[in-house]
Structure 1
Amino acid sequence: MSATRPEPGSTTAAARLLSAFETIADGPLPVRVRGWDGSVAGPADAEVTVVFRNRRALRRILWSPNELGLGRAYVAGDMEIDGDIFALIDGPDVIERVGRRDLRTLDRASIRRVASTFLRLGAVGLRPPPPAEEIGRRRGTKHSKARDAAVVSHHYDVGNDFYRLFLGPSMVYSCAYWTDADTGTLEQAQDAKLDLVCRKLHLSPGMRLLDVGCGWGSMAIHAARHHGVSVVGVTISREQCELATARVAEAGLSDRVQIRLQDYRDVDDGPYDAISSIGMSEHVGESRIGEYADRLADLLRPQGRLLNHAIASVAPLVTERHPKPAFVDRYIFPDGELLPLSHVAAAFEQAGLEVRDTEALREHYALTLRRWVHNLRTNWDEAVRLVGAARARTWLLYLAASALSFERGRITIHQVLAVRAGSAGASGMPLTRGKWLGD
């Protein structure tokens, strides 16, 4: 990469901006910068150019000197990304070196240099209001039914047509299951994931399945159509419930699938032969994971199986010593919490369930997210028309950053299979994994 950079002492906005951010990053950045004055600085052959449209972008960063400030500037349109978004957030570690850098670790001379640059560029001023897409004050007790309903609505009730643009016809908002990274469509991989869940649950005709956090009904439809079960799907998203109900009717399965606008804590018509929870328990939270496990265990019949498919933390995302406002918490998953696998497994065991199998699908989610990013970028104009440029930018940044987080092992995802033992501890499980998968 050729490093055509401005001459030392250059006073253009772009040159000063690049110099300040490279001071924060403690070294050269593989990006090109364009200032509001039309000036450009950085490698001529960079794969991405960061465009600062106005000084307000700097004020956002100054008031929140981390990934939240950068995210606000991008979502608001004060800063734009021209080129490959993956090149910006992937390499090498641009976001890690700039957006997640604790400025207190800089030496005094560097702090003075950055502060002086921002002052000369006119970044000092009142705090700009956050973009409207950022969730405001959250009312009520965290993970109460009312607050959960409100924050889930913030994420999911943004328009079913928008989600369809990047999820595709499958309308499955969780990681697909790929047999090969280079072959197969997203729809085929999502179908394979749904069938994997059904086989792990050993679904067969006549059984009764509860699908917790049923989304747009894809799991419920697949289980009823291909495995002959009766399904109750529950969601607290009104838009998901409406579309899922319509999709069930269109599939001719209304006699076997019921979609409810209902919190899982209010389900009282057990027992069920099996329970699936796909991409839902991330909303439950550390304080409620025990209650979640207890409730689902109570709804299972003896020898009934539970499959919990959820993103998990690998290491703390925010430390207690240096807390930073998280972009994901403000814009994407308010109150969402990624728990380590050990916490989830312990909660199930304490609820009287026996954990029989866990499977990590980290690479599968990275592949899925890459496909979603491709779909969103391909349908960008329609996405902007449906939800506006700010929300479209929010999702693009979130999906791309998430793909890299899974690829680099910062977060992971597990399918945990548990069973409620019958009399004398009988699990009803075949002796080999292949047999209980139905292979």
Structure 2
Amino acid sequence: MADAALRLTTLAEEVLGAPLPVRIRAWDGSESGPPGAPVLVVRHRRALRRLLWRPGELGLARAWVAGEIDVDGNLYEALDRLSGIVWERDPDTDAAPAVHPLRDPRLRAAARGLLKLGGALPPPAAPAEEVRRRTGPLHTRRRDKEAISHHYDVGNDFYELVLGPSMVYSCAYWDEGEGTLEDAQRDKLDLVCRKLGLATGDRLLDVGCGWGSMAIHAAREYGAQVTGITLSREQAAYARKRIADEGLTDRIEIRVQDYRDVRDGPYDAISSIGMAEHVGRVRYREYADQLLALLKPGGRLLNHQIARRPETDEAAYHVDEFIDRYVFPDGELAPLGRTVATLEEAGFEVRDVEAIREHYARTLRAWVANLEASWPRASRLTSPGRARVWRLYMAASAVSFERNRIGVNQILAVRTPTTGESGLRARTRDWRV
């Protein structure tokens, strides 16, 4: 087959109605596209069959995880260029028609072209790393536990490699200088503790405690009595060992427990850092009600959560297929306004909202750098496909934060007593004071 790259480029541009923003290198060694642009490498014709059977993001994701496509050059630049045609197309204004391929002559012709290039074989099996389509009600206790296990029980050694010594899997808080990832994660944990006004003896519930970093910081630096909960047994075992090594077993308890099953309130403060994304729309009010009930009057909640931009038609919102199948099964992002409204409807007084999306872009780039620096070991610790999932999802997420497709916010809320006194110890928004 001669010049497969040119034929692919031509097909893509016919569908897009615009020049392809990346260069293509095909399995036959041919290249086509804008000189100097990042190169999308199509290593195997099987990738085209995936696109035939699942056009769009899921077909591309399966080909990526299987190693059938790759990027030669700057991955972030390639994703940034592709974002406008893969994730951000506006069907009302963009040239490609938003109809089924069989009902549109241009897309029907493109499908025939892909069929000639890719071969008329059955659809390739999905990579082993993909979660099968789930059925039944969303966000039951069992289904949530299975989803958490898929993402977090990949192996503690793998997460150590990606996250570094801090073992914090959420947005860091960066100074303007050239601090390390560990510095930025320590500063984030300290920021949370200061916003919560933690003091010696305060009872803190850390919801979604991960590998114990927040619990350790709060107990060691602020003298808090901490209960951490997670659904991941691997995380819990790792956290308990760290706590024992720090000599903090008398101040910290780690449980494998669903947040809906916590009954030992009241707490002085609750931290929920990067956990609420797993709760889901159907459970978010229940989540807010439960956390409010676990706080004493005057108790504080710090909810650190990724948010998406609002949709013009919220009913039409759909979960990202790649994220749902490969990264966070059943995870859902809500707009910031909806989260704030739900907390207020539950009875919280929202006292502060800080948007830190640029900090997450920088954090993700640091994680990707860690992963790429130890790529052979990362592939051995999990699988080559799983390592490719993490590289794509973290790099694409960094671009999404940079392009303001998603954000991340820290919401400080209080269970305000009937007296109206908030009980907040910090009287200024300058949390460094």
TM-score bracket, shorter-length normalisation: over 0.9
More moved, 424-433 vs 342-351: 424-433
Work out whether 1:419 is the aligned partner of 2:414. yes
> What is the one-letter code of the residue matched to 1:39?
S
Q: Is the 8 A contact 1:308 1:416 kept in 2?
A: yes
Partner of 1:97: 85
Counting only pairs closer than 5 Å after superposition, residues 239-254 of structure 1 correspond to structure 2 as: 239-254=234-249
TM-aligned CA deviation for residue 183 of structure 1 = 1.1
Partners in 1 of 2:142 and 2:425 — Cα distance? Answer: 42
274-283 vs 246-255, which moves further: 246-255
Query: Equivalents in 1 of 2:253, 2:294: separation in Å?
Result: 17
Structure 1 counterpart of 2:258: 263
Correspondence for 1:78: 68
Question: What is the RMSD computed on CA atoms of the aligned residues?
Answer: 2.2
Cα distance between partner residues in 2 of 1:252 and 1:325: 42
Q: TM-score, with normalisation over the residues of structure 2?
A: 0.93
2:4 paired residue number = 13
Superposed displacement of residue 425, structure 1: 2.4
How far does residue 124 in structure 1 lie from its aligned partner after superposition?
A: 3.6
Distance 1:95 1:123 in 2: 28
Q: Following the alignment from structure 1 to structure 2, what is the Cα–Cα distance between the partners of residues 321 and 205?
A: 48
More deviation, 119-128/242-251:
119-128
Change (3 A) 1:389 1:27: same
Aligned to 2:144: 148
Q: For residue 14 of structure 1, report the CA deviation from its aligned partner.
A: 1.4
CA–CA distance in structure 2, aligned partners of residues 70 and 131 of structure 1: 12
- Deviation of 1:430 after TM superposition, in Å, equals 5.2
Q: How does 1:8-407 map to 2 (within 5 A)?
A: 11-46=2-37, 48-91=38-81, 94-98=82-86, 104-105=97-98, 110-180=106-176, 183-316=178-311, 326-407=321-402
Tell me, in whole angstroms, the C-alpha distance in 1 between the residues paired with 2:119 and 2:315: 29
Q: With the length of structure 1 as denominator, give the TM-score of the two structures.
A: 0.91
Structure 2 residue ranges without an equivalent (≥5): none
Instruction: State how far apart, in whole Å, the 2-side matches of 1:133 and 1:57 are.
Output: 16
> In the superposition, relative to structure 1, how do residues 183 and 269 fare at CA in structure 2: closer, same or farther (>3 Å)?
same
Structure 1 residues 431 and 211, CA, compared in 2 at 3 Å: closer, same or farther?
Answer: closer
Q: Secondary structure at the match of 1:50?
A: strand
Cα–Cα, structure 1 residues 419 and 74, in superposed 2: closer, same or farther, change >3 Å? same
Q: 1:203 to 1:57 in 2, by over 3 A?
A: same
Cα offsets for 1:255-302 (capped at 9, x unmatched): 101111111111111111100000000011111111111111111011
How far apart are the structure 1 equivalents of 2:298 and 2:410? 18
Give the Cα separation in 1 of the matches to 2:231 and 2:109.
50
SS in 2 for 1:206: coil
Gaps of 5+ in 1: 1-9
Contact 1:14 1:40 in 2 (8 A): yes
Does the 8 Å CA contact 2:278/2:332 hold for their aligned counterparts?
yes
Equivalent residues of 2:197, 2:426 under 8 A apart: no
Contact kept? 1:358, 1:415, Cα under 8 Å: yes
Q: Distance in 1 between matches of 2:80 and 2:364?
A: 14
- Counterpart contact for 1:66–1:99, Cα < 8 Å: no
Q: Decide which moves more: 140-149 or 214-223.
A: 140-149
The AA in structure 2 aligned to 1:89 is L
How far apart are the structure 1 equivalents of 2:318 and 2:10?
A: 27
- The Cα shift of 1:423 comes to 4.1
- 1:96 partner amino acid: G
SS in 2 for 1:424: coil
C-alpha deviations, 1:353-405, integer Å up to 9, x for none?
Answer: 11111111111111111111111111111111111110111011100110011
8 Å contact from structure 1 (residues 212, 275) kept in 2: yes
Could you give the per-residue CA deviations for residues 190-238 of structure 1, whole angstroms, max 9, x where no partner exists?
A: 0000000000000011111000000000000000010011100000011
SS of residue matched to 2:118: coil
1:32 partner letter = R
Range moving further from structure 2, 266-275 or 129-138: 129-138
Equivalent position amino acid for 2:322 in 1: F
Q: Is the 8 A contact 1:70 1:99 kept in 2?
A: no
The 8 Å contact of residues 62 and 126 in structure 2, kept in 1 or not, is answered as yes
Q: 1:4: which partner in 2? A: none
Cα distance in 1 for partners of 2:48, 2:271 equals 46
SS of equivalent to 2:397: helix
Work out the number of aligned pairs and report it: 425
User: Structure 1 vs Structure 2: percent identity of aligned residues?
Assistant: 56
